[in-house]
Structures are given as C-alpha cells and as structure tokens.
Amino acid sequence: MSDGKGPPVLEGVRVLDLTHYEAGPTCTLILAFLGAEVIKVESPTKDKSDRQRFNGEEDAKEDLYFVLMNLNKKSITLDIATEEGRSLLLDLVEHCDVLVENFRPAMMRKWTLKDEVLRRRNPRLIYASVSGYGSYGPYAAYPGLDMTAQAVGGIMSITGEGDEPPIRCGATIADSSGGANLALGIVAALYRREKTGKGMKVEVSLQDCAVNLGRSLLGTHIAYGSKAHKAGNRLKDVVPWNIYPTCDKGYVAVCVIPQRQFERLMQVIGQADLLRAHRLYSLPARKKNRQLIDEVVGAWVLRRTKREAMARLCQNDIPCGAVLDSIEVSDDAHLREREMIVEIEHHQWGRIKVLGCPVKIADSPVEIKTSPKIGEHNREVFARLLGLKDLDLQGLKARSII
Amino acid sequence: MSDGKGPPVLEGVRVLDLTHYEAGPTCTLILAFLGAEVIKVESPTKDKSDRQRFNGEEDAKEDLYFVLMNLNKKSITLDIATEEGRSLLLDLVEHCDVLVENFRPAMMRKWTLKDEVLRRRNPRLIYASVSGYGSYGPYAAYPGLDMTAQAVGGIMSITGEGDEPPIRCGATIADSSGGANLALGIVAALYRREKTGKGMKVEVSLQDCAVNLGRSLLGTHIAYGSKAHKAGNRLKDVVPWNIYPTCDKGYVAVCVIPQRQFERLMQVIGQADLLRAHRLYSLPARKKNRQLIDEVVGAWVLRRTKREAMARLCQNDIPCGAVLDSIEVSDDAHLREREMIVEIEHHQWGRIKVLGCPVKIADSPVEIKTSPKIGEHNREVFARLLGLKDLDLQGLKARSII
C-alpha cells in the first residue's frame, strides 16, 4: 500500500495542540499520523500538565496511555494560566494553521482565548474544539466524558442483554469518534481555506458523536418513532447473527445475511439436509428456526478452535470473526502486516508495541514515532517560530512560564 | 454556530458513490453533509440495488435504515455488472473528484475497475475503499462486517461484565468509524491534491478501525503487554465510575476523576461527613472504599429521576449522564438545538426525525435533505455530465443498463 515515497498528505500543516485526556489528543494524533506538525502544549508544572503523562506517582515512568495518545507529536511547555504564557501562545498562533482544544467552553473564555481573539491574530487559523456538549445548546456548560456521552447518546440503552442493565462499550468510542470527526472537520476547513484564504471554527460534541455512532439501529428507531431494545449479540431480523463458544474456551462471531452465504454455511458445516428438511430458503424461514440454526452452528463451532473456525468459514466466504483479546490483537499477523500494530522505542519503556494509523493512503506512508518528552521541542519551536534566544528561554523557565 | 451563510466546505467536490450496506454509505453521507455532490450509483434491477433501499417485501416503503444512510445524496441507476454500464461509469469518473466503494477487493478486480484503471481515465481521482480487512495482508480476501470487526478488533473482549460472555456494542461502531476514517482520508487527499494536482488511493479496513477505537484501554494493555479484562461499567482505577438506578426505573452514569470534583460530589449528595470520616482525599483512598462510595452515590441517585440527577450533578460540574433510549434521544432538547435530531419530509413516510451531522463548522451550515428516489437524478447527471439525450437514456433504460 505504502510503497511510494511521496510526502505525507498533511505535510506543511502546523497544529497547536492544547488538548488533554482523550478526545482532543485522538484528533491531533491522527493529524500527526497524516503528516501535520503537531505541537503539544503542556503545563510546565508537573501536576497541571496533561493528566495522562504521569499517573500521579513520583518517579513513575510515563503512563503508556499518554504515549499511545501522543505518538508523532512535538511537546513544548507553556503555562497558559499566566498572562505571559498566553501572550506567547498568541505569538505562536500567528505561525500555526490550526489550534485544537478540548477545554470546557468557559475556560477558553476565562483566558480570553476565544475563537475571535485568536482569529484576529491569525485570520487563516482553523479553531477546533471538542467538548462534552459543544459550545451552544442547553447543556453547553455541563461536564461530559466518554461514558456519560455513551449514556446520553443512546449507546448504553442498546448495548447488553435485553433483561440486564445497560452497559457501556468497553472502548472509549465517544472520545475516539469525537476526535476523528473533529479531525475531519479540520481537514475539510483546511481544504476550504485553499479556496478562500480564511480560517473557520469547527466543533464537535461527544454526545452528538455518540448519537451519530448509533445511526443504524438507534437512528432507524428514531425515524420509525419506536424504542430500540438491547438485543445482546443477536440481530432481530438476521439469523445466524451471534457468538458461539469454541473448543479453546474462546468465541467466534458468525454473521450471515445473504441467502447464498447462508446456504454455503449449511454446506460447510454438513447441514445441507437440515436446509432442505426445514426449507430454510429465505430470511423469514431462517428467523422462524433461529434456535435450531444457533444449535447446529454452535455444535460445529464447538469442535474447533476460534482461529480454525474463523479460517474455515472465511475461506468459504462466510463472515466469521474470532473474539480476540489485547494479547491476541497485538500478535495478529494481519494487523502487523497492515502496521496497525507496530513497535517503537520509548526512552523509558524501551521497545513497546503501539497502535498505528487506521487511514491508509498510498504513496503517503506513515512512520509511527514515539511520544515526545515533556518540553522536548521548546528550543526548536520557540527559537524557530518566535526567534527567542537561549537567554530568553532560561528566563521563561526560571519564571515557570515554560 | 451556523449563523453565517458561506458555502459548505466541500462545495464543488463531486463524489461517485458505489457503496452499499453501511460503512461506505456512512463515509459518503458525511461528505454530502459537508457539501460534496454525492452521486449514489444503484443497480437498475430492484433486487441487486443497494440492499437497504427495500427490505425484500414487495410494495413495501423504503427502509428507513436506507433513508438515514443516504440523506443529502443524489441517485442514478447503472448496472456495473455489464460492460456498457462500466463504460458509462468510466465516462463519469472523468467528471468526478472521488470514487468510493466498499466491495470486497476481488469484485473491483473482476470488473476491471481497479484503482489504476480508474486513475488512468482521471489522474486527479481520489480512489477510496473500505472493506472488512483492506486490500492487503493475510485476511484480505476474508469477508467482514461490523460485528466480526468488533470481534477481531478486540472490542468484544473488553465489553460486558467480567464473568459474562463477550458482548458487542449495540451501535455499529466499526462501520461508523470506518466511514468517518475513510472520509478523513479522502478530504486529506483532496487537500494534498490542491498542492500536487494528483489523485491518490485511500483505504481503511473495519478491523483496523475497530482496533483504533480501542486505543485507550486495549492499546494501553498492548503496550504494557498485558491482557485487558471486561469491567462492566466500572473503571479499575477510578471511583466513582458506574451506572446507578433512578426512581423512574432508569439509570444515570456518574464518572468522577479529579479529586476536587469528587469532594464536590460528596458535598452535593450530603456526604461531607463520610469524606472526612474515611479520609477520602485521594484516588487510592477512593478506590479502597469503592463499595461504600457506590452505596452512597447510589442511594442519592435512587431518590431522583434520571433527568433530575443529571441536571443537579452537572450544574455542580460533576459529570453525570442519563441513560437515554431512542425515544428520549429523539426528544432531547439539546440534540434538537444542535440539529443532531432534525425533521425531514420523505416522499413515502412524510415527516420523520433523522440524525444530523456531528461536525459543526461555523459559516458553513448543513441543511439536512431527504434521501433520493432511485434513479431520481439520472437525467440530471447523465445529461449534464455526459451530454446524453433523452433518447439515449430511453435506450439505456430499455436495455436495463440504467
């Protein structure tokens, strides 16, 4: 895929990254993967800095959660709670294409770092913001994070078994899609800027993004005006659609929609007779015999390991996925070949496996690099962009501005 | 947010949309929301057309799932399984900026519609593809869809209660993030094309995108080399982080990380004494008293409705989200003000509520429009772009090419 050696697609785009926690860093991470120069701004005092760099214990190594979220970025320190810090930030804004933040809307106002102020300094600036509920609407001042977004976005109400309490998706899907949607908005605004020369303001809310993730099931019920129910691993209208235990104490998901795929499945698992006997020649007929089909598929799967069942069915063009855990994902040959799992060298942890970039662009290869040390790029950024001298930097450091 | 009246950010971008099911249509949907002209290509024979437009029953109205996935698009009919159809498709490619498809890699090869063929006709074309496993790697030929991607992407292994079987997220998160990531890659390639004048090839796989959604929990465990476990609605390292039943038979999620937020929570629920008695002044102390804290938060919540509990806690800057179902999401005042829930007029269903666009760009308002009727834009597209006359179209129709 990435044989060519063209420059990365976002080469030349400079991003000032005021984000922390996860939704914001996820956005700037993918911009960095695609070749933008992302300058992460951290507080010079340890406890106020990005809360994920250190997990609180003295002398602990950097948290790997932080590392994963901040690959391929640069780091500078700057205390934007001080006036001098904010003044330097505004100087930097003049040299940047994009500013991304995920504070609550009130914080940026308090610091007089509103959209309009920043764009007065640099009319070409794309101002991008992600927060729990966005900057307008009745909940705009409410705090929100991934799990509350999964709640108010309807995701929890459709996840889990029908008779059990709602459950969250174990992945932080609201944060992650918040970051991806914001990145999309930013790049679309950059594209527009090529025509107009003008910056724009982009925002996403975690609740909006969670709702959007539910577009198929939740959205369809909303359009019909009906209440969506939890259905565990099944789908009301499709059979088979479930997980089945394997002989190695694992599970596989088997999900079959087209009739020709279903008939091939029956062949492969040696149940062609059953197909004829019960005339399972349509989706309605399959639905009527859900239990029977679950039984024969389950019996076939149970005699195999999850990897065997997946390979055998997929090689026969029948969708089947082994339920993989974190260790198995990290060892997966396919993910490694696709560079979704790559190894990097971290200055404290040594050689570690990290996740790569899910967007693959031919001729624009992504090289995954470790996260920066705190303030690692202070000299480079402040000297190159603002022309500050070593002496200036020493003074700023002495006053804990950087 | 959208007071300004500038043109949409992707105005002037024309997308040929060969997608079906969900991951592909989700991608072109957001491009359409952002102002691209998306031309959906459907088979002229009903049973081969986008499988979601009609759910199989004769004379049924269009499936609302299809409507939700295809808002703001145009529709033409074209049978690309025929040589004449493919020839017209190649003519259209000359007039388009982007082609998006989510066939299995083998299908496009079979039709000799490979990336290189298309880009020979139009060197500026962005070719974009989403499939279960992408076009390279050992599983490239395997079929895959949302739930199998949640399985092989590790999401199911971290969703659900610790002692229960794995469970999928009820939202089709792999499809949805596949679409969003592909859209991001497309727009990034469009941005690059402004500099180089050349098209590119972009692809995403559902497995890669699912893994990427798990970047925080799954990714951190991968970096540590450890196995991530299901934790229900709790987080191992944070207390409180759970859902709690309310007096109206609902639930709220309460998730508190910073110590000052926790102490405020104890105040608001009248448990300041408990805070002092158990010296709950740090996260480790809170973790040691998980059960006690769950009890007092739970008792307070249980005396309130989910809306009351959410409002009271959020107004005190404590993250709390009511678990909303599809009906409640569709009535949510905040989502309506943010135009995530909007009403449209459908030619068969009349006035219905649909989901809007989660990316908000100031001065680039998104007007949500209903999905097209099948072939609604045949005349417009074939006449305007290819110069075909009514007589040509009649002939093509008679031969079931369009």
The 3-class SS string of A279-328 reads CCCCHHHHHHCHHHHHHHHHHHHHCCCHHHHHHHHHHCCCCEEECCCHHH
Q: What is the pLDDT of residue A215?
A: 95
User: Cα(B188)–Cα(B202) distance, rounded to whole angstroms?
Assistant: 10
Q: What is the pLDDT of residue B103?
A: 87
Residue A251 phi/psi, 5° resolution? -140, 150
Confidence bin at B4 (pLDDT 50/70/90): low
Residue B217: how many other CB atoms lie within 10 Å? 21
Q: What is the pLDDT of residue B24?
A: 97
For chain B, domain boundaries = 14-215+338-398, 241-325
User: Cα(A324)–Cα(A246) distance, rounded to whole angstroms?
Assistant: 12
Q: How far apart are the first and last CA of chain B?
A: 41
* Residues of A noted as catalytic: 175
User: Cα(A23)–Cα(A140) distance, rounded to whole angstroms?
Assistant: 17
Confidence bin at A47 (pLDDT 50/70/90): low
Q: b/e per residue, A362-397, with b = 16+ CB within 10 A? A: bbbbbebebbbebbbbbeebbeebeebeeeebeebe
CB atoms A208 and B358 under 8 Å:
yes
Give the class (CATH, top level) of B241-325. Answer: alpha beta
pLDDT digits (tens, 9 = 90+) for B138-186: 999 999 999 999 999 999 999 999 989 999 999 999 999 999 999 999 9
CB atoms B358 and A187 under 8 Å:
no
**pLDDT over 80 (residue A347):** yes
Q: What is the pLDDT of residue A386?
A: 96
State the catalytic residue, choosing from B17, B146, B175, B208.
Answer: B175
Q: pTM score, two decimals?
A: 0.97
Better-scored residue on pLDDT, A43 or A153:
A153
Residue B312 phi/psi, 5° resolution? -60, -45
Confidence bin at B107 (pLDDT 50/70/90): confident
Better-scored residue on pLDDT, A320 or B52:
A320
User: Cα(A192)–Cα(A170) distance, rounded to whole angstroms?
Assistant: 36
**pLDDT over 90 (residue B6):** no
Confidence bin at A320 (pLDDT 50/70/90): very high
Average pLDDT rounded to a whole number, residues A175-195: 97
**pLDDT over 80 (residue B257):** yes
Better-scored residue on pLDDT, A363 or A57:
A363
Q: What is the pLDDT of residue B52?
A: 67
**pLDDT over 80 (residue A55):** no
Distance from CA of B282 to the nearest CA of A (A): 10
Confidence bin at A327 (pLDDT 50/70/90): very high
Q: What is the pLDDT of residue B359?
A: 98
CB atoms A222 and B188 under 8 Å:
no
**pLDDT over 80 (residue A49):** no
Q: Which of B167, B204, B261 sits opposite A160 (nearest CB)?
A: B167
Average pLDDT rounded to a whole number, residues B65-76: 96
Average pLDDT rounded to a whole number, residues B260-288: 96
Q: How far apart are the first and last CA of chain A?
A: 41
**Which superfamily, per CATH, for B14-215+338-398?**
Crotonobetainyl-coa:carnitine coa-transferase; domain 1 (3.40.50.10540)
**pLDDT over 90 (residue A38):** yes
For A339, the closest chain B residue by CA position comes to B208
**pLDDT over 70 (residue A59):** no
Q: Which fold has domain A241-328?
A: formyl-coa transferase, domain 3 (3.30.1540)
**pLDDT over 90 (residue B49):** no
**pLDDT over 60 (residue A48):** no
CB atoms A134 and B338 under 8 Å:
yes
Supply B105's token pair: 């890699």
Average pLDDT rounded to a whole number, residues A88-113: 90
Confidence bin at A105 (pLDDT 50/70/90): confident
% of chain B exceeding 70 in pLDDT: 96
CA B201 → CA A13, A341, B118, B180, distances in Å? 21, 22, 11, 16
**pLDDT over 60 (residue A142):** yes
User: Which range, A49-53, A193-197, B112-116, has the best average confidence (pLDDT)?
Assistant: A193-197
**pLDDT over 80 (residue B51):** no
CB atoms A159 and B165 under 8 Å:
no
Supply B321's token pair: 């989200």
User: Cα(A143)–Cα(A133) distance, rounded to whole angstroms?
Assistant: 8
Confidence bin at A98 (pLDDT 50/70/90): very high
Q: A23-27, A372-376, B54-58, B205-209: which has the minimum mean pLDDT?
A: B54-58
Confidence bin at A28 (pLDDT 50/70/90): very high
Q: Which of B148, B180, B332 sits opposite A177 (nearest CB)?
A: B180
Residue A248: how many other CB atoms lie within 10 Å? 13
Residue with tokens 């999850």: A306
The distance from CA B80 to its chain's CA centroid, rounded to whole angstroms, is 27
Q: Which of B143, B158, B223 sits opposite A317 (nearest CB)?
A: B143
Residue A346: how many other CB atoms lie within 10 Å? 17
**pLDDT over 80 (residue A130):** yes
Q: What is the pLDDT of residue A108?
A: 81
Average pLDDT rounded to a whole number, residues B381-398: 95
Q: What is the pLDDT of residue A115?
A: 83
Q: What is the pLDDT of residue B53?
A: 77
Average pLDDT rounded to a whole number, residues A23-39: 98
Residue A72: how many other CB atoms lie within 10 Å? 24
**pLDDT over 80 (residue B342):** yes
Q: Is the peptide bond before A138 cis (omega within 30 degrees of 0)?
A: no
For A9, the closest chain B residue by CA position comes to B192
**pLDDT over 70 (residue A171):** yes
Q: Tell me the three-class secondary structure of chain A, residue by residue.
A: CCCCCCCCCCCCCEEEEECCCCHHHHHHHHHHHCCCEEEEEECCCHHHCCCCCCCCCCCCCCCHHHHHHCCCCEEEECCCCCHHHHHHHHHHHCCCCEEEECCCHHHHHHCCCCHHHHHHHCCCCEEEEEECCCCCCCCCCCCCCHHHHHHHCCCHHHCCCCCCCCCCCCCCHHHHHHHHHHHHHHHHHHHHHHHHCCCCEEEEEHHHHHHHHCCCHHHHHHHHCCCCCCCCCCECCECCEEEEECCCCCEEEEECCCHHHHHHHHHHCCCHHHHHHCCCCCHHHHHHCHHHHHHHHHHHHHCCCHHHHHHHHHHCCCCEEECCCHHHHHHCHHHHHCCCEEEEEECCCEEEEEECCCCEECCCCCCCCCCCCCCCCHHHHHHHHHCCCHHHHHHHHHCCCC
Q: What is the pLDDT of residue B1?
A: 60
Supply B382's token pair: 């074939």
Distance from CA of B392 to the nearest CA of A (A): 35
Q: Let me know: does B280 contact B264? Beta carbons within 8 Å.
A: no
Distance from CA of A395 to the nearest CA of B (A): 32
Q: What is the pLDDT of residue B118?
A: 92
**pLDDT over 90 (residue A60):** no
Confidence bin at B5 (pLDDT 50/70/90): confident
With 0-12 / 13-18 / 19 or more C-beta atoms within 10 angstroms meaning exposed / middle / buried, residue A305 is middle
Confidence bin at B349 (pLDDT 50/70/90): very high
CB atoms B68 and A253 under 8 Å:
no
Question: Which residues from A are below 8 Å from B61, CB to CB?
Answer: none
Distance from CA of A387 to the nearest CA of B (A): 28
CA B88 → CA A107, B46, B49, B74, B393, distances in Å? 55, 20, 17, 17, 12
Average pLDDT rounded to a whole number, residues B306-322: 98
Average pLDDT of the residues of chain A: 94
Q: Which of B182, B194, B353 sits opposite A222 (nearest CB)?
A: B353
Q: What is the pLDDT of residue A57?
A: 62
Average pLDDT rounded to a whole number, residues A221-247: 95
**pLDDT over 70 (residue A4):** no
**pLDDT over 70 (residue A259):** yes
Residue with tokens 């908005």: A185
Q: What is the pLDDT of residue B124?
A: 97
Distance from CA of A130 to the nearest CA of B (A): 10
CB atoms B191 and A194 under 8 Å:
yes
Residue B175 annotated to the active site: yes
Q: Quote the radius of gyration of chain A (alpha carbons, Å).
A: 25
Interface test mutation site (partner B, options A61, A209, A215, max chain B beta carbons within 10 A): A215
Q: Of the candidates B92, B104, B114, which has an alpha carbon nearest to the alpha carbon of residue B41?
A: B92
Q: What is the pLDDT of residue B100?
A: 97
**pLDDT over 70 (residue A1):** no
Q: A45-49, A231-235, A285-289, B32-36: which has the minimum mean pLDDT?
A: A45-49
**pLDDT over 90 (residue B109):** no
Q: What is the pLDDT of residue A61?
A: 87
Q: Let me know: does B164 contact B229? Beta carbons within 8 Å.
A: no
User: Cα(A337)–Cα(B292) distance, rounded to whole angstroms?
Assistant: 48
